[in-house]
Amino acid sequence: MATLNILRFLKTFEGLKHAHSLISNGQSLASGVSCFALARCFTSHNQDMKGVFHKAAKANLTLNYRCFCTVTASRVCWNCGSSTELFFCSSCKVIQPPHDIINYFQILNCEETFSLDTKKLQKRFVELQRYLHPDNFSQKSLKEQEYSETQSALVNKAYRTLQKPLSRAIYMLELRGVLLEEGTDATADPAILLEVMEVNESLAETQNQDEVDAIGQSVRDKLKDLTEQMNSSLNKGDLLTAKGLLVQMKYLSNIEEKVKKRITESW
């Protein structure tokens, strides 16, 4: 209702002058009122205003990337010296080089939690690549092309890392100074190693597709349980338990990949 009343006001002569003044000063017309909607509204009412609102609409699209990042980078633009957002300059809108101290969660503007929403993560990834992709900078300077390629590759890496539970868990532990060293087999629980060995042997020996599917389902169920335990451990700050769970997730994820390969080969 508030938006409708705003539109009614803006269609008056005084409203036209008010909107023109706001646009000229680079201010927002009103919360919930899109420039494209206003452009359609004014097309039939006042042809002189049509170009004004389409210009504003285009400007809004150009500036939309600013809402992608809630992290303010403490540095200045290489091009104009103004303060910058994470990916673009706040003033001249030129793309910036990657920030050295920003982690993957901040890059993708999501909460630093193991149980993150992967659908929102994917949406954020697509939005960022829409603006950062090198194809958008083919007519720009060599420096801007270089920064675009670097930023785009970094966003890809961040997305791949956070998308899957195993790589996400590894990364979160690394952020906390806990590394999964090589030779983890030697320190793993013998019972877990025995179980993994038996599952691998069963998968290698069977030629029955139903048995392969059953092994796959069993592994997925165990990974789901481990994922829930991992989330709880990280929330509690219990890094030792989280590290042990990570070892199990690593083994089971390897088996899951083998199951997928077997299923693909059977098609």
pLDDT in tens, 108-128: 999 999 999 999 999 999 999
Token representation of residue 218? 């069993």
Q: What percent of the chain stands above pLDDT 70?
A: 70
What's the average model confidence in pLDDT over 8-35? 43
Where is 168: in which H helix or E strand? helix 165-175
Q: What is the pLDDT of residue 207?
A: 87
What fold characterizes domain 184-266?
Monooxygenase (1.20.1280)
Residue-averaged pLDDT of the chain:
78
Q: What is the pLDDT of residue 71?
A: 52
Is a pLDDT exceeding 50 seen at residue 180?
yes
Q: What is the pLDDT of residue 66?
A: 41
Q: What is the pLDDT of residue 186?
A: 56
Helix (H, G, I), strand (E, B) or coil at 88: strand
Helix (H, G, I), strand (E, B) or coil at 91: coil
Label residue 187 by pLDDT band (50, 70, 90). low
Count of beta carbons in the 10 Å neighbourhood of residue 73: 23
Label residue 28 by pLDDT band (50, 70, 90). very low
Residue, of 6 and 213, whose pLDDT is higher: 213
- Tokens 């906390």 sit at which residue? 176
Q: What is the pLDDT of residue 52?
A: 41
CATH number assigned to the domain with residue range 69-163, chosen from the 4 options 1.10.287.110, 3.40.50.1820, 1.10.1530.10, 3.90.1520.10: 1.10.287.110
Residue, of 151 and 28, whose pLDDT is higher: 151
Q: What is the pLDDT of residue 46?
A: 43
Residue, of 266 and 57, whose pLDDT is higher: 266
Label residue 267 by pLDDT band (50, 70, 90). low
What's the average model confidence in pLDDT over 126-140? 95
Where is 8: in which H helix or E strand? helix 2-10
Q: How far apart, in whole angstroms, are the C-alpha atoms of residue 129 and residue 121?
A: 12
Where is 253: in which H helix or E strand? helix 239-266
Lowest mean pLDDT: which of 30-39, 187-196, 202-211?
30-39
Q: How do the domains of the chain map onto residue ranges?
A: 2-66, 69-163, 184-266
Count of beta carbons in the 10 Å neighbourhood of residue 248: 20
Label residue 5 by pLDDT band (50, 70, 90). very low
